Amino acid sequence: MIQLSGISKSYGEGQVLNHISLQVKEGEILSIIGPSGSGKTTLLNIMSGVLEATHGQVISEASQIGYVFQEDRLVPWLTTEENIRFVAESIESERLSYLIKTMGLQGAEDKRPDEMSGGMRQRASIARAFAYEPDLLLMDEPFKSIDYYLKGKIINALIQVWVERMSTVVFVTHDVEEAIMLADRIIVLGRKPAVILNEIKIQSPRNVDEEAFLKIKKEITNCWEEIK
């Protein structure tokens, strides 16, 4: 679906990404995990095409890209429902209600972003991205400002919606547990200028038992210990 070859990115003198090569297969959920400031948002922006790499090549087959930004970019004067319709004009009412319900936003259909909490806005952004029916969905820390219990529910909802439509998903996080709960594969970035430190393929994606969970978690944190 998308292939990055030898991507490097510098902002002026400061190099952020150093020769990143990766491939995302159709229907796959890939998590990119890395410390704060390692260049995760930069990498997503390059994948989406809004930012150009300094070196390297992006080959993308995506025709419809959904993007859940790190800071929600809901239209401030529109309600939740209107924000969703804004990107998906012809969405059926039934589908709209389903997305609102799955994201736990019942009762907030007619609220504007400034009337909602950060977590609600984040969930509205996720609902909006799904309504757009992207073939490639990019999400930048989509579960931040969502509390632990609700996060589990939202991740399950996301899996449910993903199973129905099988979009290709790339999501960025610095939360190891989120990555393990959702991904088929995890790419671990180091500190700036980021290289790929490790790539972990999950044996039973979205169904990881406790033992495997701890093992993967250790593998990821060990990568960062080594570069401290």
Ligand X SMILES: Nc1ncnc2c1ncn2[C@@H]1O[C@H](COP(=O)(O)OP(=O)(O)OP(=O)(O)O)[C@@H](O)[C@H]1O
Binding site for ligand X (CB under 6 A): 11, 16, 34, 36-42, 70, 174, 192
In angstroms, the Cα distances linking 59 to 9, 123, 159 are 16, 30, 26
Instruction: Spell out the residues 6+ positions from residue 121 whose beta carbon is closer than 8 angstroms to its own.
Output: 72, 74, 113
User: Least Å distance between CB 39 and Mg ion?
Assistant: 8
Give least dist CB 217 to ligand X, A.
19
What's the Cα-to-Cα distance from 132 to each of 67, 87, 162, 206, 209, rounded to whole Å?
10, 6, 13, 24, 33
| Residue 38 contacts which entry, Mg ion, ligand X, none (Cβ below 5-8 A, type-dependent) | ligand X
Cβ of residue 172: shortest distance to Mg ion, in angstroms? 7
| Least distance in angstroms from the C-beta of 163 to ligand X | 28
Q: For residues 193 and 205, which CB has a smaller minimum distance to ligand X in the complex?
A: 193
The nearer residue to Mg ion, 33 or 131, going by C-beta atoms, is 33
Q: Does 156 bind Mg ion (CB under 5 A)?
A: no
Q: Which of the stretches 6-14, 41-49, 77-85, 199-207 binds Mg ion when contact is defined by CB under 5 A? A: 41-49
The least distance separating ligand X from the CB of residue 27, rounded to whole angstroms, comes to 25
E strands of 77-179, at which residues?
Answer: 136-140, 168-173
Single residue of 3, 5, 10, 41 touching Mg ion by CB under 5 A? 41
Residues 70-89 that bind Mg ion (CB under 5 A): 70
**Beta partners for 198?**
188
Nearest CB to ligand X, comparing residues 95 and 174 = 174
For residues 18 and 80, which CB has a smaller minimum distance to Mg ion in the complex?
18
DSSP structural state of residue 116 = S
- 165/195 Cα distance (integer angstroms): 32
Using DSSP bridges, classify how beta strands 196-201 and 185-189 pair: parallel, antiparallel or unpaired: antiparallel
Applying CB under 5 A, the residues found at the interface with Mg ion are 40-41, 70
